[in-house]
Amino acid sequence: MILTAENISKTFNRRTVFREIGFTVAAGQSIAVTGRNGAGKSTLLKILAGLLTPTRGSVRYDVDGSVCGPEEIRASLGFVSPYLQLYDEFSALENLRLLSRMRSATVAADDRCREMLTRFGLWERRDDQVRTYSSGMKQRLKYVVALLDDPQVLLLDEPSANLDADGIAAVSHVYESSQRRILVVATNDRSEAERCELKVHLGTGAS
């Protein structure tokens, strides 16, 4: 799979957040999106995920030379972001089962749920409602949801936010095990950005 962003610009109410951003990332490559607060890192990731439409330019995902449709992109995308919340009134397991049915019409396999929840240290709390989780545990659960179907494209917005040492170690494992996928990381953390092969810096931002 190849992700191509061509001359993307985004404007909100006459304010241009960024203009003419372009890059190409192939499977097995990673790219860091950096920039000051307000530079548009989260906005760019939402555009890459198809949650926002760019004011100008386009985003394209290709597999073997053919352009992917919205449904193919949705099926191959994992996204961890502070803006994506899970359902507080459900347990971790219920969230995984319901969300996987919405995404692919199939209930996530129990073994896969167990593997992912164990990897992120949530297996013991799998039946507790998410409203009882700390912010770090909710962040870990977002990783489980994003990685459950082994996506070909993984978008991480502030990947280490709210995580403790164990959580950060689990995220490191995500970086290391992403050799076959496209990894896009929006961060202001220099060490996280340096792990990525490619970089795009959004110049303007809050002053």
Partner 1 sequence: MNVLARTSAVLVKDLLSEIRTRYALNALLMFIITAVAIILFALRGDTPGTVVLAGMFWVVVFFTGMSGLSRIFVSEEERGTALTLQLLAPPGVVYFGKLAFNVLLTLVLVAGVTAVYLVAFPGFIIQTPSIFFVTLLLGSLGLASAATIIAAIVAKAGSRGTLYPVLSFPVVVVLLMTVMNATVKSLDGEEFSAAIVDFVVLISYVMVMTAGSFLLFEFVWKD
Which residues contact partner 1 by CB under 8 A?
Answer: 46, 49-53, 70-71, 74, 77, 79, 81, 83-90, 94, 98-99, 101-105
Smaller CB distance to partner 1: residue 89 or 194?
89
For the bound state, the minimum distance from the C-beta of residue 58 to partner 1, rounded and expressed in Å, comes to 15
Smaller CB distance to partner 1: residue 94 or 164?
94
For the bound state, the minimum distance from the C-beta of residue 52 to partner 1, rounded and expressed in Å, comes to 6
For the chain, where are the alpha helices, taking DSSP H only?
41-48, 70-75, 92-104, 110-119, 135-147, 165-176, 190-194
Smaller CB distance to partner 1: residue 4 or 129?
129
Smaller CB distance to partner 1: residue 104 or 134?
104
For the bound state, the minimum distance from the C-beta of residue 83 to partner 1, rounded and expressed in Å, comes to 5
Residue 159: helix, strand or coil by DSSP?
Answer: coil
For the bound state, the minimum distance from the C-beta of residue 199 to partner 1, rounded and expressed in Å, comes to 25
Give, in degrees to the nearest 5, the angle at Cα 101 between 45 and 96. Answer: 70
Q: Which burial class, exposed, middle or buried, applies to 204 when counting CB atoms under 10 A from its CB (0-12, 13-18, 19+)?
A: middle
Nearest to 193 by CA among 183, 203, 204, 206: 183
